[in-house]
């Protein structure tokens, strides 16, 4: 019976993925992709990966979904296959097109089919390596936290997590470069309903506190910096939409400090212990719990700032077309 | 059939769907979605192995790697989206002009 | 692993550039550039210190977080990593100096692009992290750091052509790293470790290992712009700003080649087959011929140089078939493997110096003329003798004429080819050199031709021309310490143990 649930869930994920690529309208595509993310999140929970489920739902489906939906404003609703026929002079060109595309797509299909067979065969025959379950369990007492995933993320493999916080900051810089702007302008007030603004004001501390709870709870259960960051980021996004453009108001140095605090403090703490003879990101087991909590809190703050800044940036992209500001 | 085997198969299928989409789809947004479906397949493979190797709890190392991977993939996708929208603003194009 | 000396240097090599990048974000245009340049020079200095330390004490390690692998991540600076880090530092320092004057000269016209500096420092940290990493998943994170910062740098100018090229580059890079990660998932599933050293011991041949080899090799080939996945490189490299083109071609594509080399020799020894090596070699040979021919056909200088990168990267792939001998074949001399290795390392270095010099020269010409059409290069020799000299020297190294680093690389490659009995690769090497001579002399002939029409030549800072010339000279100077460098590389433990596994893998004939 439970196997049936797994089969249905797997087929659902595959079906949604296929449909989101084949949907004729772009908006359908985006919403099906959003649904695909939620199906994956359910899958993670079925597989006992609750942390991954929260991250998938919040970041991959939620945040990326919001960005994709926001991007829909830019594009014409029908996908390019039709638009191609419209601007590609005439219909006979498109029939010629399909003919010349037949052979490559046939080759692609055959190649991918073969690839799929090899992949399935390989996954089916993957020897049982045993993973690192036992080892991470054995070392948990020394890691300073009780939840194994948090121990991996912030202690055993803290270096990866540190680099990843760097990737988010870099992603923000890259997005500024792509748009050619690095100024936060006051957005137009999108939510004019005073009642709705009141609701946003009410939910801001609630979301913030819930994020703080997730952050603290990450020590012993599913939760932690990334999940808290998304909630805090959502707070920033809501305030932005409600007409409180946090980024345009605060001074520049504070903005940069918020963005870099997570990455910078993580590294400087590592350097401080390195000066004492330890390895980078090595914490004494007695203080590890507290230090990890501080690192996580600051990292969550920076990631939340970056996520909100990315959203605010995307949101103003449509409003200021063809404007290149000097990137200061 | 164990759950990890079912999801392992699904992961290979998702990866291949992603590659096919990356080649076949023309619209920028669809190409970005396709890369994320590829990523979903890879992450599913990691997590199904983690479930296979579970003792008292599932293997936490792949879980941590997948969380890292998701964040990295979303950062790349957001960057690709920004490029796409900028191209669209400047030229009105929604796909690569000489895409075969 | 634990018997090797521990040192804080590997951790600092990644931490310092990121610290400086973070710091530079607090400053505005001028300050950002200044902090960035200081950060670059500090990183380069630290790299040289670390290089010297490795020559003195041998391989250095740093156990991050104090957790031994397989639970934790190990940074390992062995001679091969030291050579790559040293090369990155030398090329990087020159390009940083060039960038400083390049952006200063264009500051008044809105061409200061201060975000170049933090992004370049992130890129540098990613490269150092990649060369040092001994963990498959950490390698994925470093290639993502490199990928995002490299694409962001490529689109820095904000021009439409650069944006299109950058998006294509980014999509190819994401697909490549996802394919790589798929292979990592299977390797982790079948062994329960991500550490390169432990994987090399634990890995058994089987369908999972073969599939992992396939997707990892394909993914990394996409990111190295290997034929037939080279489509994204020429537009991206030619449309970027001059210092960025130099960085992308000299350093970025070498990162993924380095992983490929590491994994083929240290992890996949058991499942390599003669056929797999031959296929990669074939892709390399095709890249050499196709890329050189395309370079010959271009009418814009930067496109010539970018297509030439496709060809020069092809030579790198041609060392892979030499690592695996045909079943039952024994090499004529035991030297064949060290020749192949030396050829690879020299090709990487010679190309890094020569190509960055060429791109920087192209940047100088664009600054002077406003465009880079080849017919307009007439009279260049009298206007800018230093730049012509830089292009001439770099060109000689690309062709592979003695006494350049490029000659050393091609000579060693031919030696490896004949010693391993795989003579059929030799014509491709020779044809590549011939075609390279074609496109280099086509440019130089015009540079020395008298002016046909009047053109306005805007002044270009001498410092820029000097940096380009010094880089071209460096592609010759690397030949002098050759004997020493080969010895240094052979002192690496991995270098020796790699040989055994490769010969076994090839000898089994399990294809």
> Which of C130, C54, C88 has the alpha carbon at shortest distance from C492?
C54
pLDDT at res. C52: 95
Q: How confident is the model at residue A328 (pLDDT cuts 50, 70, 90)?
A: very low
Query: What's the rounded mean pLDDT across residues C414-424?
Result: 88
Token pair 């999972």: residue:
C208
Shortest distance between the Cα of B98 and any Cα of chain A, in A, equals 12
Residue C360 falls inside a structural domain = yes
pLDDT at res. C330: 65
Q: CB–CB of B38 and C178 under 8 A?
A: yes
pLDDT at res. A307: 92
Predicted confidence (pLDDT) at residue C333 exceeds the cutoff of 80: no
Q: CB–CB of B51 and A112 under 8 A?
A: no
Q: CB–CB of B26 and A115 under 8 A?
A: no
Residue C2 falls inside a structural domain = no
Q: Which chain B positions have a beta carbon within 8 Å of C173's beta carbon?
A: 76
Query: What's the rounded mean pLDDT across residues A180-201?
Result: 68
DSSP-derived secondary structure letter, C479: T
Phi, psi of C416 (to 5 degrees): -60, -40
Does the reported pTM lie above 0.90? yes
Could you tell me if C253 and C233 are in contact, meaning their C-beta atoms sit under 8 angstroms apart? Answer: yes
Predicted confidence (pLDDT) at residue A327 exceeds the cutoff of 60: no
Could you tell me if C62 and C74 are in contact, meaning their C-beta atoms sit under 8 angstroms apart? Answer: yes
Q: Which chain B positions have a beta carbon within 8 Å of A20's beta carbon?
A: 33, 37
B9, B54, B75 ranked by CB distance to A168: nearest: B75
Residue C428 falls inside a structural domain = yes
pLDDT above 90 covers a percentage of chain C that reads 71
pLDDT at res. A238: 86
Could you tell me if C331 and C499 are in contact, meaning their C-beta atoms sit under 8 angstroms apart? Answer: no
Number of domains in chain C: 1
> Which of C154, C199, C196 has the alpha carbon at shortest distance from C172?
C154
Which residues, in sequence order, are CB contacts of C113 under 8 Å at separation 6+? Answer: A327, C103, C156, C157, C241
Predicted confidence (pLDDT) at residue B68 exceeds the cutoff of 80: yes
pLDDT at res. C237: 94
DSSP SS3 for C385 = helix
pLDDT at res. A319: 55
User: Which element (helix H / strand E) includes A97?
Assistant: helix A91-124
pLDDT at res. C486: 83
Q: How many helices and strands in chain A, by DSSP H and E?
A: 14, 0
Residue C3 falls inside a structural domain = no
What is the residue range of C325's domain? Answer: 9-504
Q: Which one of A35-49, A132-146, C445-459, C475-489 scores highest in mean pLDDT? A: A35-49
Give the start-to-end residue ranges of the domains of chain B: 3-91
Query: What's the rounded mean pLDDT across residues A22-32?
Result: 92
Q: CB–CB of B40 and A17 under 8 A?
A: yes
Which residues, in sequence order, are CB contacts of C289 under 8 Å at separation 6+? Answer: C311, C428, C431, C432, C435
B4, B55, B100 ranked by CB distance to A137: nearest: B55
Query: What's the rounded mean pLDDT across residues A73-88?
Result: 55
- Cβ atoms within 10 Å of C203's Cβ, excluding its own: 23
Q: CB–CB of B80 and C174 under 8 A?
A: yes
Residue C167 falls inside a structural domain = yes
Instruction: Tell which wins on pLDDT, A189 or C271.
Output: C271
Kindly report, residue by residue over C478-508, the tens digit of the pLDDT.
Answer: 988 888 888 888 776 544 444 444 444 433 3
pLDDT above 90 covers a percentage of chain A that reads 46
Query: What's the rounded mean pLDDT across residues A88-104?
Result: 56
Bridge partners, residue C6, by sequence:
C61
Query: What's the rounded mean pLDDT across residues B39-58?
Result: 91
CA atoms of C461 and C338, how far apart (whole Å): 43
**Separation in Å, CA C390 to CA C31, C155, C356, C464, C465:** 31, 27, 11, 11, 8
Query: What's the rounded mean pLDDT across residues C214-221?
Result: 95
User: Which element (helix H / strand E) includes C285?
Assistant: helix C274-297
CATH architecture of B3-91: Orthogonal Bundle (1.10)
**ipTM computed for the complex:** 0.96
Predicted confidence (pLDDT) at residue C511 exceeds the cutoff of 50: no
Residue C163 falls inside a structural domain = yes
pLDDT at res. A89: 40
pLDDT at res. C336: 77
Q: How confident is the model at residue C470 (pLDDT cuts 50, 70, 90)?
A: very high
- C155, C162, C171: which to substitute to probe chain B, counting the most B Cβ within 10 Å? C171
Bridge partners, residue B95, by sequence:
B27
A118, A130, A160 ranked by CB distance to C138: nearest: A160
Q: Which chain C positions have a beta carbon within 8 Å of B15's beta carbon?
A: 178, 182
Q: How confident is the model at residue C455 (pLDDT cuts 50, 70, 90)?
A: confident
CA atoms of A112 and C331, how far apart (whole Å): 38
Q: How confident is the model at residue C32 (pLDDT cuts 50, 70, 90)?
A: very high
pLDDT above 90 covers a percentage of chain B that reads 71
């Amino acid at each position: 019976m439970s196997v049936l649930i797994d089969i249905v869930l797997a087929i659902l994920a595959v079906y949604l993925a296929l449909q989101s690529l084949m949907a004729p309208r772009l908006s359908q595509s985006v919403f099906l992709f959003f649904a695909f993310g939620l199906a994956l999140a359910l899958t993670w929970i079925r597989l006992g990966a609750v942390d991954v489920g929260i991250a998938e739902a919040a970041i991959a489906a939620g945040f990326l979904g919001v960005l994709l939906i926001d991007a829909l404003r830019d594009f014409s609703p029908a996908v390019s296959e039709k638009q191609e026929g419209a601007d590609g002079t005439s219909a006979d060109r498109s029939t010629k097109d399909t003919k010349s595309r037949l052979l490559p797509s046939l080759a692609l299909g055959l190649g991918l089919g073969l690839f799929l067979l090899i992949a399935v065969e390989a996954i089916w025959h993957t020897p049982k390596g045993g993973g690192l379950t036992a080892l991470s369990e054995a070392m948990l007492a020394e890691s300073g936290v009780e939840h194994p995933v948090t121990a991996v993320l912030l202690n055993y493999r803290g270096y990866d997590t540190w680099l990843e916080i760097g990737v988010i900051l870099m992603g923000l810089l890259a997005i500024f470069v792509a748009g050619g702007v690095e100024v936060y302008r006051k957005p137009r007030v999108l939510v004019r309903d005073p009642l709705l603004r009141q609701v946003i004001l009410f939910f801001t501390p609630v979301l913030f506190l819930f994020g703080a709870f997730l952050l603290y709870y990450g020590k012993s259960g599913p939760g932690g910096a990334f999940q808290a960051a998304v909630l805090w980021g959502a707070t920033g996004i809501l305030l932005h939409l409600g007409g409180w453009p946090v980024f345009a108001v605060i001074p520049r140095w504070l903005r940069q400090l918020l963005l870099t605090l997570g990455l910078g403090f993580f590294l400087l703490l590592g350097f401080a212990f390195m000066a004492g003879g330890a390895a980078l990101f090595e914490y004494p087991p007695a203080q590890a719990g507290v230090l990890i909590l501080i690192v996580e809190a600051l990292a969550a703050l920076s990631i939340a700032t970056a996520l909100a800044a990315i959203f605010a940036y995307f949101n103003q992209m449509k409003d200021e077309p063809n404007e290149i500001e000097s990137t200061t | 059939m164990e759950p990890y085997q079912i999801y392992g198969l699904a992961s290979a299928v998702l990866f291949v769907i992603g590659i096919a989409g990356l080649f076949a789809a023309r619209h920028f947004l669809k190409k970005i979605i396709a890369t994320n479906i590829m990523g979903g397949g890879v992450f599913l493979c990691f997590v199904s192995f983690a479930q296979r190797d579970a003792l008292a709890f599932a293997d936490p190392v792949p879980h941590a790697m997948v969380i890292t991977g998701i964040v990295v993939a979303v950062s790349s996708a957001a960057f690709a989206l920004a490029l796409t929208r900028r191209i669209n603003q400047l030229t009105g194009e929604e796909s690569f002009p000489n895409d075969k | 692993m634990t018997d090797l000396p521990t040192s804080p240097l590997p951790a600092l090599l990644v931490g310092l550039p990121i610290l400086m990048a973070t710091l530079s974000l607090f400053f505005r245009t001028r300050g950002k550039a200044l902090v960035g340049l200081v950060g670059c020079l500090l990183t380069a200095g630290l790299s040289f210190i670390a290089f010297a330390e490795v020559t003195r004490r041998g391989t250095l390690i740093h156990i991050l977080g104090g957790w031994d692998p397989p639970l934790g991540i190990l940074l390992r600076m062995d001679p091969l990593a030291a050579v790559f880090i040293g090369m990155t530092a030398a090329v990087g320092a020159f390009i940083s100096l060039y960038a400083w004057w390049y952006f200063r000269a264009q500051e008044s016209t809105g061409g200061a692009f201060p975000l170049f500096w933090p992004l370049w420092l992130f890129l540098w940290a990613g490269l150092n992290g990649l060369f040092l990493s001994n963990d498959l998943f950490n390698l994925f994170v470093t290639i993502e750091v490199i990928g995002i910062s490299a694409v962001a740098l490529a689109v820095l100018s904000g021009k439409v052509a650069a944006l299109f090229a950058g998006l294509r580059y980014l999509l190819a890079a994401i697909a490549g790293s996802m394919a790589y990660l798929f292979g990592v998932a299977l390797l982790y599933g079948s062994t329960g470790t991500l550490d390169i050293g432990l994987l090399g011991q634990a890995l058994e041949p089987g369908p999972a290992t073969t599939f992992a080899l396939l997707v990892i090799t394909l993914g990394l080939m996409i990111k190295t712009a290997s034929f037939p996945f080279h489509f994204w490189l020429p537009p991206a490299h030619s449309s970027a700003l001059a210092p960025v083109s130099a960085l992308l071609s000299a350093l970025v594509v070498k990162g993924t080649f380095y992983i490929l080399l590491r994994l083929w020799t240290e992890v996949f020894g058991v499942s390599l087959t003669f056929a797999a090596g031959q296929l990669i070699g074939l892709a390399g040979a095709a890249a050499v011929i196709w890329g050189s021919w395309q370079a010959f056909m271009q009418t814009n200088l930067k496109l010539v140089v970018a297509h030439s990168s496709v060809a020069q990267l092809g030579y790198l792939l041609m060392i892979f078939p030499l690592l695996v001998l045909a079943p039952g074949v024994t090499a004529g001399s035991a030297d064949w493997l060290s020749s192949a290795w030396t050829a690879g390392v020299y090709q990487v270095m010679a190309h890094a110096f020569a190509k960055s010099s060429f791109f920087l020269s192209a940047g100088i010409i664009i600054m002077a003329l406003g465009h880079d059409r080849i017919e307009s290069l007439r009279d260049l020799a009298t206007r800018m003798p230093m730049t012509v000299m830089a292009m001439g020297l770099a060109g000689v190294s690309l062709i592979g004429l003695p006494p350049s680093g490029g000659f050393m690389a091609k000579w060693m490659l031919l030696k490896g080819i004949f010693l391993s009995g795989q003579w059929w690769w030799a014509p491709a090497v020779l044809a590549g050199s011939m075609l390279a001579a074609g496109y280099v002399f086509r440019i130089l002939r015009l540079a020395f031709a008298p002016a046909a029409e009047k053109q306005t030549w805007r002044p270009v800072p001498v410092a820029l021309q000097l940096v380009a010339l010094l880089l071209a000279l460096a592609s010759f100077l690397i030949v002098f310490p050759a004997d020493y460098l080969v010895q240094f590389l052979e002192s690496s433990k991995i270098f020796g143990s790699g040989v055994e596994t490769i010969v076994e893998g090839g000898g089994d004939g399990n294809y």
